[in-house]
Structure formats: C-alpha cells, structure tokens
C-alpha cells in the first residue's frame, strides 16, 4: 500500500502543477554556484598566459602551453584548422587529478583537418592562415581574433572572461590564497537547492569564456527556449542568461530564457556582410549571457542622440559551463547558409525520413483501447480527413512497464497493428527511460542482475520517481547497456510490434519527479566514473541513438522514425523533436515558429509543436489556426493531455471540419516538397525550414522576423496566429524585382516590404517565391501511402525574367534502397517559354507517377497551345487555359512519367 500511496501522491503533485510552471522548482543563475562565480568573474582576476616559446606547429594545428599564473596550473592550448572554413580551439589541463569530460557523442565522426600556414610569429603573438581565414593568437592574456578576408568577425576572450577552474583537492581553512575566488562562494565545494544536496566530490571545475562578434546585428541559436528567434540581451539586473540544461518543465512560459527539454550550444552572429557561428562542445549544464549593442535602454539612447554618437554594431556571448574541457568550433561563414552547413558538417544531418513521417499524426494521452484506436481511424475516413499515424501514450503498457501491453485494453496488439497498416497507417508507441521497480518485470530484473542502472553518490542503484512510481534509470554510457537496450526492439522480444511500429522517446531529460529540478541528481554515477553533471545534456541523445540502432537491427531495410523530447547537438541523426508540453494559448502557437526555426539553424529541421496545445482546451478559432500554422512545420502532430476534452477534427461542426480538412489536404499536397527538402538536407546540410535572414542575408529588415518562415527557398508562410483579426501584415523580402504569388489565388506581389493581407477563418497566407518550381500532389487521399503513384502538379512561379527552376526527389518512401541509387532526383527549369525536366543524378527508380498539370504563375501573354516532347510520347499538342484574370496558365495532362526527361514548349 505504501507504493500505491506514493504513486498517487506524486501523480497528484504532477497534475496539480500543470496549470502553470512553478519557477521556484528551477534555479536562476544566482542560485547556481558555478554560474554565479563565472558571471561575477572580473577580467584580470586570473591571468591566463600562453608560452609561445613552447609553440609546436604541424600541418593543420598549433599547440602551446597555457598557464593560470595565479594558481600555477598548467593547460595545453590547441588551435586546429578544419575542412570547410572551421577553426577548433581546444584547451585541457595538463596532468589533472581527475580527467575532464570530453563529449564523444555529438560529433558525426572525427572532423577532417585542413592545411594551416603560420604567417607571423613573435614572442607576443602568432598569426596563422587557412584559405581566406586568419587567426591571430595573442599570448598575454590569451586572446584569439578571427578574420574572414581580413575582416575581424569574432574574438575569443576579448573581454577577458576566460576562466577554467582547475581540478584540485579541497583546501583546508586558511590554505591557498590562489583559491580565494572559489572559497568565497559557499556552493563551490558542495551545494544545496531546496531540499536537495549536491556533494560535488570533484569540487569546482567550471569553464567559461566570452566571444565577441564585431559588426554583427543579431545573434541566433541556443535551442531549446520558448523565446524569440533573435536572442535578447541578458545581464545582471535584466534577463537571466539563456540556460541549457535539459529539464521536464510543465507548461513552460513563453518569452523566457529558462531551460526546457533541449540544449544545443550553438550560436550564429549575423550582419548584412558576414555570418559567423560558434559551437560550444560541452554536455554539462551551461548558461549563456548575450549582449547586443542594439538592445539599448532609453537613457543610453538619449545620450547617444544628444552626443551624436552611434555605437558600432557588436554582439557577444558569454558561455559558462559547470564542467568539461574547453572545446569551441568557430564557423567562419561568411553567409548564414555557409555557417549552418559548417555546423552540419560537424554534428551530422537528419537521415531521410520515411514519407509517412511528414504526413499528419494523431495522438493524445491516451487512446483508451484497441477499439478506440480503430474508431478514430474509421471516423477520419468517414469524414474524409487524411491521417497517417496513430500514437499511443503510456497507458497502452501493462502498469507503465515499457515493452509490454495492457493485457485487457490492448490484448491483441498484432491484430490492431495489422488493421492499421492495412489502411496505409502506422503506429507509434512511447518508450521512456524510467524503469518500474517491480519484482517479476523482466526489464527491471535484467537491469538489477546485470548491473545496468545508474548509481547514486554512494554507489547504490539510484531510485527516483516517475510515472510508474519507484523507478531506476539505465546507465546509457555503459556499452553493455547500450547493446541490451538495442536488443529490446527485436520483434520476438517486443511482441505485438512490426516494422510499421515506430518509437516515441519521452521523459528522457531524464525526468525524475522527486529529483532536484525534476531531474537526476548531479552526483549520480555513470559508467567510467563520470558523474551525471558531466553528461546530463547528452542523456536523451544517447537514448535516441540506442533506439535508432535498435530499430535498424529490428528492421534493417526500413528507415526508423523516432520522436524525442530531450535533445542535444547531433540528435538530428536519430530523431525528430517537438516543442514539448505546450498550452492551448495563442502565445504558445506564436512561439512554435521561432522555436522550430532556432532548432533548424541548430541542425534539427524535423521539428513541430503539438497542434491545439498539450494542456487545456483550445477554442475552435485557435484550434483551426493551429492546424493551418502547423502545415509549415516539418513535424505535424496533434496531441493533448488526458484531462483535455477529445478534439479529433471529426468531432466539430461542418465549418470547422472543412477548414481543418482543407489544412490537412494542403499539407498532403506539399509532401513532395517537404520530402525533396529533407533529401537535400541530408546531402547538403541546409535546413528544411528557414528564417528570412537565411535566404535574404543582406536585408536588415528581416533580422527580427520570426512569425514567418520559408519552406526551403520556395514557399513563404505567414500564418494567422492572432485572435479575431481581419488582416495580417506580411513582410515580402527581395526588392521590387522579387515576385511572390499567393498560393491560393495566385495574385502577384513584389518584394517591397510590408503588405496587409485580408484574412478570414479560411485564409492560410502563404506565397510561392518567384523563380521557383514547386511539385505537389493535389489529389486528396486518406493517407500518404495511397499517393505514391499519384500524378504531380508543377507550380511554376516565374521571376521578373520569366524564368524559374526547382527540384523533385522520388524514391520508395521507406527503405534504404535510395543509398544504392534507387531514386530519381529531377531538375525542372523554365526559360524562354520552355519547361524542361532532366535527371540531376544518373540513377533510376520505377514509378507510375506522372505529370498531370503544369500551372504557370505570372505567365507569358498570348499563349495558345503547348507541345510536349519526350522519348516515349514523341511530340504531342496540349491545350492551355488562362484563369479569369490571367494570373495563371494551366497546361493539363502532359501525361509524361516523371522518370522520363521531357521538354514542354509554349506557343
């Protein structure tokens, strides 16, 4: 009975907190000893000096001894040139009393090096060059300046905030004057927060540094935060630093620098001339102060106005981590797409997902039983609402024991899955890392018997509380644990599943209801002797990598689909993410674009937000607008809390159903575009969704716009995310020679700035970009599986030169055969009144899909017919039709298979 009472108590506690986040459960910087120490660190307090007499030069790096003069502690400094215009700065202690943790899991293999040339060397500094990049390293105090084409773009330690607390024995009273800066802080050697005690057996080991970006307008990155796209200035007396510490935060607030589920320590500083990035390769708790010269207060603005002085543009970031080595990658750009690609070259890209994963997903906590699941699908079909995936939350299990099924509610999982897949649908089930401590549960018994669990500071198995009640957590650093958990996904072990069952990894921060800040204590112990503090932010990354490998072992010919809540740099290689437990509020709808755009810049394009909000009940206006907004995010799922009213689209009146149906059908129509962009992301590293400054880097007016996004370079979306409005403002970039076409009525606009677009509840504001060609499948179907051989419509949006181009990628939508050249990658080009299709790669894939229509926007005048020429059809005449206002020209039924090159000429 004690177990049941505790379980009831903690469940009640969690549910009672879901009305709003309790900030008292989470630290501020001032309540965190290492953040407090590093934030209050004064330049000159400790002097770090390079000894250039020890300089060693190799083909791609320079190394030298670095000393903390006051503490007489020794470090080794290395600057390396990497392929693709990247520098790496690495600093570690020489002969530390404990090794400092180096992140192993985020990088996608060892980075390739590039030749480095020493240009100048004196006793005070050394200058090196790699291509058109240059670095000047100053010795006393250490400072590194980075130049692109002789323009200074970034400086490490410009403000003198570099500090690397060397590992040491705890001093006794009156010992060690050089230790005064940490002795003065009461939390340096052990720390309390609320009722929790952190023993800190290794003592202080924090590392921090400032990076300045001269000339930059704005700085972006540091997901995950429910905040704006452009990072805001923080500082004492103002905003707390942006915190990167994966936490289970219930109904998080928007416009906040608080930590939530993900932590990707990369930033991009941007101006109209240069964009440069920094990747801080550290998995420990991290805080980042941001400074922006444009975020001036009223008093300073008046002073500047009176004096006539306008400060130079500059932004800066102060990284502060609790532990680890100093490992920083400087991404030299010079354009946003260069810097983002450089980051992708380090941490990897999302592998091409299965086609269904880009379609619509239906989820709630929880579908009651097998009958409920089938009824949901039947009602979608009856109401002609497309859906591809049904999700099961924790209640499908036997008493919240993962890799099991409830013996009553889900007694026939194989039959249920078969019924789903027979209609072209898939199933996703949740698997979380907390393991129920129950005798007889095979997973718990195996972990106990084989010593697979994380230990507490005393070396005993750690016990925390989560959904099952008393739980323990797998030690994911242990290779034996990794292999064991991979094996659990085998079809003969996770009975009832098939290769059409995919996985949702949730609560993997890890979430611990009775732990400090709702997570695992930092002094818990992992394989290799590492404390949890050293690896906290990669726990979720490790979990999804294990799941991915397990699904590959299970179904080697199928691409896995995994959704994760916790994530870090490199998570894109194994999983999609979503913005977590949001709320049915307009502010959370508005936050979905900047949150996912920030993730996309940090390599994680496969991002979405729970449609309608997870907590609470949206009114019908908000629900409809969320369906219309979610179209433009790569992951498109509805999800809701168990206490919310059922809100499947078919439950509403016909008007609401029609609007949601139209939104769903538009999403399904543009699936070929999303799929093509994901393939191009895999090959180039370019994000699938993009902020405006990514495509228009020289336009200073777009730097703060985050209520619009670009799907690739082809569609600009500005959804209605405000209540009760009759018009919305849209910024159309590119200047007067850039055309934009409304995707519904094809009205042409010029990129001349802000325009007002009248809207009704039916309006979904979005625009084709002039000069692009977008492939669509416009025939409505109940699932994406039924569209694979459907014909394409090409939307040819002409630019001011009456030309356009675009790509289309086609394969089987599910297997890895595309890696053996079983695919089509096509280029379409319209020029001189002629549309041509050609193969970009010399590959082949059999398909019945053909070109059903070509719709030309901003068409040439007086066209009376068209002729199509291909090998199989010869030359055929086609009819052409203008719409009523000559905004578009339609060529119907060209009839050529997309596999075949062709030429379509207008006459």
- The catalytic residues are 506, 581
Cα atoms in the 13 Å half-sphere on the side-chain side of 260: 24
CA–CA separation, 133 and 128 (whole Å): 9
Half-sphere exposure of 813 (CA within 13 A, CB side): 17
DSSP letters of 176-237? -GGGHHHHTSTTSSSEEETTEEE--TT----EEEEEEEET-SEEEE----SS-SBPPP--TT
3-state secondary structure string, 813-874? CCECHHHHCCCEEEEEEEECCEEEEEECCCCCCCCCCEEEEEEEECCCCCCCEEEEEECCCE
Q: What is the DSSP letter of 810?
A: E
3-state secondary structure 526-550: CHHHCEHHHHHHHHHHHHHHHHHHH
Q: Are 136 and 144 in contact (CB under 8 A)?
A: yes
Phi, psi of 317, deg, nearest 5: -135, 135
Helix, strand, coil percentages for the chain (3-state, nearest 5): 25, 30, 45
Residue 115 is classified by DSSP as -
Distance CA 285, CA 388 (A): 38
Peptide bond into 366 cis (omega under 30): yes
Q: Cβ–Cβ contacts within 10 Å for residue 103, how many?
A: 21
Backbone angles phi, psi at 442, to 5 degrees: -55, -40
Per-residue CA distances from 680 to 147, 351, 572, 765 (Å): 30, 10, 15, 26
Cis bond before residue 534 (omega within 30° of 0) = no
Distance of CA 728 to the CA centre of its chain: 27
Distance CA 797, CA 716 (A): 13
The DSSP letter of residue 755 is E
843 Cβ contact list (under 8 Å, min separation 6)? 821, 822, 823, 824, 825
Cα first-last separation, the chain: 83
């Amino acid at each position: 009975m004690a177990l049941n009472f505790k379980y009831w108590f903690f469940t009640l506690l969690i549910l009672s907190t879901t009305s709003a986040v309790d900030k008292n459960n989470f630290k501020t910087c001032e309540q965190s000893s290492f953040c407090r120490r590093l934030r209050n660190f004064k330049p000159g307090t400790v002097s770090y000096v390079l000894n250039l007499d020890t300089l060693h030069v190799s083909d791609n790096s320079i190394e030298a001894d670095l000393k903390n003069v006051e503490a007489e502690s020794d470090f080794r400094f290395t600057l390396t040139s990497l392929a693709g215009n990247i520098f790496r700065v690495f600093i570690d202690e020489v002969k530390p009393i404990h090794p400092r943790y180096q992140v192993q899991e985020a990088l996608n293999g060892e980075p390739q090096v590039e030749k480095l040339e020493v240009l100048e060397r004196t006793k005070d500094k050394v200058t090196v060059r790699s291509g058109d990049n240059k670095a000047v390293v100053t010795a006393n105090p250490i400072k590194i300046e980075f130049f692109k084409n002789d323009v200074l773009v970034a400086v490490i330690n410009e403000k003198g905030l570099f500090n690397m607390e060397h590992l040491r024995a705890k001093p006794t009273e009156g010992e060690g004057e050089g230790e005064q800066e940490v002795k003065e802080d009461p939390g340096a050697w052990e720390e309390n927060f609320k009722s929790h005690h952190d023993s800190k057996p290794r003592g202080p080991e924090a590392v921090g540094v400032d990076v300045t970006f001269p000339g930059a307008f704005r700085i972006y990155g540091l997901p995950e935060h429910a905040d704006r796209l452009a990072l805001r200035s923080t500082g004492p007396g103002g905003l707390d630093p942006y915190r990167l510490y994966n936490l289970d935060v219930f109904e998080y607030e928007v416009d906040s620098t608080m930590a939530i589920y993900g932590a990707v320590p990369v930033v991009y500083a941007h101006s109209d001339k240069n964009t440069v990035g920094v990747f801080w390769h550290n998995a420990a708790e991290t805080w980042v102060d941001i400074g922006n010269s444009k975020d001036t207060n009223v008093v300073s603005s008046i002073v500047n106005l009176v004096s006539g002085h306008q400060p130079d543009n500059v932004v800066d970031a102060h990284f502060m981590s609790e532990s680890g080595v100093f490992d920083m990658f400087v991404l030299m750009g010079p354009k946003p797409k260069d810097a983002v690609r450089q980051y992708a070259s380090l941490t990897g890209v999302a592998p091409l997902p299965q086609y269904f994963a880009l379609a619509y997903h239906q989820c709630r906590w929880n579908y009651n039983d097998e009958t409920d699941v089938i009824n949901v699908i039947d009602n979608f079909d009856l109401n002609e609402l497309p859906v591809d995936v049904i999700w099961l939350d924790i209640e499908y299990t036997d008493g919240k024991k993962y890799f099991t099924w409830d013996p009553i509610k889900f007694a026939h999982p194989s039959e249920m899955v078969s019924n789903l897949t027979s209609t072209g649908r898939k199933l996703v089930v949740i698997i979380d890392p907390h393991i129920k401590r129950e005798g007889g549960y095979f997973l718990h018994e195996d972990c106990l018997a084989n010593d697979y669990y994380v230990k507490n500071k005393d070396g005993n198995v750690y016990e925390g509380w989560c959904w099952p009640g008393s739980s323990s957590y797998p030690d994911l650093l242990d290779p034996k644990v990794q292999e064991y958990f991979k094996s659990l996904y085998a079809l003969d072990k996770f009975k009832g599943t098939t290769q059409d069952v995919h996985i949702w990894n949730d609560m993997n921060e890890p979430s611990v209801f009775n732990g400090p800040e709702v997570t695992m204590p930092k002094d818990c112990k992992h394989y290799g002797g590492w404390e949890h503090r050293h690896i906290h932010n990669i726990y979720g990354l490790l979990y999804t990598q294990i799941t991915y490998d397990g699904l590959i072992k299970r179904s080697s010919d199928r691409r896995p689909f995994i959704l994760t809540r916790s994530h870090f740099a490199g998570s894109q290689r194994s999983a999609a993410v979503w913005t977590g437990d949001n709320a049915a509020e307009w502010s959370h709808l508005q936050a979905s674009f900047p949150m996912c755009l920030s993730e996309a810049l940090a390599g994680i394009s496969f991002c979405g937000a729970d449609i309608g909000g997870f907590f609470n009940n949206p009114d019908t206006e908000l629900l409809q607008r969320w369906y219309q907004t979610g179209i433009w995010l790569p992951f498109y799922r509805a999800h809701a809390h168990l206490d919310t009213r059922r809100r499947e689209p078919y439950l509403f009146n016909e008007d609401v159903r029609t609007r949601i149906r139209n939104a769903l059908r538009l999403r399904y129509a543009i699936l070929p575009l999303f799929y093509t962009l994901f393939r191009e992301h895999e090959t180039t590293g370019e994000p699938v969704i993009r902020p405006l400054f990514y495509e228009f880097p020289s336009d200073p007016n777009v730097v703060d716009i985050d209520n619009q996004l670009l799907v690739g370079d082809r569609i600009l979306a500005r959804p209605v995310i405000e209540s009760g409005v009759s018009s919305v403002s849209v910024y159309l970039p590119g200047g007067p020679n850039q055309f934009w076409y409304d995707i519904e009525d094809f009205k042409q606009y010029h990129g001349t700035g802000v325009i007002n677009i009248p809207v009704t509840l039916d309006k979904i504001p979005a625009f084709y970009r002039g000069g692009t060609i977008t492939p669509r499948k416009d025939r409505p179907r109940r699932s994406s599986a039924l569209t694979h051989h459907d014909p394409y419509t090409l939307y040819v949006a002409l630019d001011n030169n009456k030309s356009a181009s675009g790509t289309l990628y086609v394969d089987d939508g599910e297997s890895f055969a595309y890696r053996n050249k079983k695919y089509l990658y096509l280029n379409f080009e319209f020029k001189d009144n002629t549309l041509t299709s050609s193969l970009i790669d010399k590959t082949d894939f059999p398909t019945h899909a053909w070109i059903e229509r070509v719709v030309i926007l901003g068409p040439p005048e007086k066209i009376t017919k068209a002729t199509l020429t291909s090998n199989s059809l010869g030359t055929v005449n086609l009819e052409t039709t203008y719409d009523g206002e000559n905004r578009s020209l339609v060529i119907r039924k060209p009839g050529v298979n997309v596999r075949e090159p062709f030429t379509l000429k207008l006459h």
